Amino acid sequence: MGSLDGQVIVITGGGRGLGRAFALHLAGLGARMVVNNRNRVVDENGLGPADHVVREIRDAGGEAVAEHGDVADPATARHLVELALGTWGRLDACVTSAAVSGPAMFHKSSPEAFEAVIRTNVLGTAQVAAACSAVMRERRHGRIVLVASTAGLHGEPTVSAYAASKGAVIALGRTVAAEGAPRGVFTNVLLPYALTQMTESGMAAEHRHLMDAGAVAPVVAALCDPRGTLNGEVIVAAGGGLRSADSVEWGTVLTSETATETGTEEGGLSPARLAGLLDRSRKGPAHRYTNARDGFLDLAEEMNR
């Protein structure tokens, strides 16, 4: 028996790239899969990417059904949940892997193109996760894995919409994690490096061995495992390695302090003085919070001392 035997998992974007690797790995561990991928391209038999992944899973002795909706459509989220419950009577985990990129320099990106990326990557992720979360909260058990990107942490030239969307997914994941924990629904965010349709053209040959999508799949499986209790984690993963990532605020400095260390005038806040204060802050202790309110209260306490 696999570690996910009998678990029912919904995965979006499961027909290609990372999503396909995740779906096949999860099914290999015994999970029953609802594989979503919109049918932009079909073969001569009218079968799309999700259909082919489902066939692979079934040929290997697993259980899976295909779903072809666009995650940007709210009806897709409802249908995915209905399909899981109608087929197997339960829903245990959700992996949101569907995404688009839309490369363009920021100043050349049209509002329509920017919106299309946000609609798929942010709204599509949120709608599916919310629909699954509602069912999981009733059962007081569930695992949610939101797939984001290090572009959402650090930014990435020429893909401003994609970077903005993935930053939103990271913040969404941390928020959903805080809300879901009391109900036994744990949410984590995965930032994978892997060779996919979106990354293949810009990948140097010497790094390709680190970009196997299948090498990231075990992290997804561990996060979907009902025995796991990780929650609110942001995990960077590639080629059999991983890093924990976090949002950090450094040391607190007061803008009202004298500016002797920066060599600028006292009073006011010149650009040079601001740069000096930020440098001092970065030399202070790192602060990590599970929510914004705790961050504010800690800042207020330090400033009132």
CATH code (residue 33)? 3.40.50.720
Res 209: pLDDT: 62
pLDDT grade, residue 268 (50/70/90)?
Answer: confident
Share of the chain above pLDDT 70, in %: 91
pLDDT grade, residue 206 (50/70/90)?
Answer: low
Same domain for 162 and 303: no
Does position 303 have pLDDT exceeding 50, yes or no? yes
Res 12: pLDDT: 98
Share of the chain above pLDDT 90, in %: 82
Res 39: pLDDT: 79
Structure tokens at 93: 């985990």
Res 1: pLDDT: 67
pLDDT grade, residue 202 (50/70/90)?
Answer: low
Kindly state whether residue 3 falls inside one of the protein's structural domains: no
Residues 119-136, mean pLDDT to the nearest whole number: 98
Q: Per residue in 132-179, pLDDT tens?
A: 999 999 999 999 999 999 999 999 999 999 999 999 999 999 999 999
Which residue type sits at 195? L
CA distance 294 to 304: 15
Split into its structural domains, the chain has a count of 2
Same domain for 219 and 177: yes
Same domain for 265 and 237: no
Q: Which of 197, 229, 245 is the last residue of a domain?
A: 245
Does position 210 have pLDDT exceeding 70, yes or no? no
Question: Distances in Å between the alpha carbon of 128 and those of 10, 65, 92?
Answer: 9, 17, 14
Same domain for 220 and 301: no
Residues 200-211, mean pLDDT to the nearest whole number: 57
Which residues are catalytic, by number? 162
Same domain for 162 and 149: yes
Does position 48 have pLDDT exceeding 80, yes or no? yes
Same domain for 262 and 151: no
Tell me the residue range of the domain where 283 lies: 248-305
Least confident of 124-128, 160-164, 194-198, 204-208: 204-208
Residues 42-49, mean pLDDT to the nearest whole number: 83
Contacts 24+ apart (CB under 8 A), 47-54: 48/15, 49/15, 49/16, 49/20, 50/14, 50/15, 51/15, 52/15, 53/14, 53/15, 53/20, 53/23, 53/24
Res 201: pLDDT: 52
Burial class (CB in 10 A: 0-12, 13-18, 19+), 44: exposed
Report the chain's mean pLDDT, rounded to a whole number: 92
Q: Per residue in 281-294, pLDDT tens?
A: 999 999 999 999 99
The number of beta carbons lying within 10 Å of the beta carbon of residue 103 is 17
Res 195: pLDDT: 72
- Integer-rounded Cα Rg, in Å, for the chain is 22
Q: Is the dihedral of CA 68, 73, 77, 78 positive or negative?
A: negative
Res 305: pLDDT: 79
Kindly state whether residue 1 falls inside one of the protein's structural domains: no
- Could you tell me whether strands 64-67 and 241-245 are parallel, antiparallel, or unpaired per DSSP bridges? unpaired
Does position 117 have pLDDT exceeding 60, yes or no? yes
Q: Per residue in 55-77, pLDDT tens?
A: 999 999 999 999 999 999 999 99
Bigger pLDDT: 199 vs 276 = 276
Contact indicator for 150, 236 with CB cutoff of 8 Å: yes
Contact indicator for 299, 252 with CB cutoff of 8 Å: yes
Res 257: pLDDT: 66
Does position 203 have pLDDT exceeding 60, yes or no? no
Same domain for 204 and 150: yes
Same domain for 225 and 183: yes
Res 262: pLDDT: 47
The helix-helix angle for 124-139 and 74-88 (nearest 10°) equals: 40
Kindly state whether residue 266 falls inside one of the protein's structural domains: yes
Same domain for 287 and 203: no
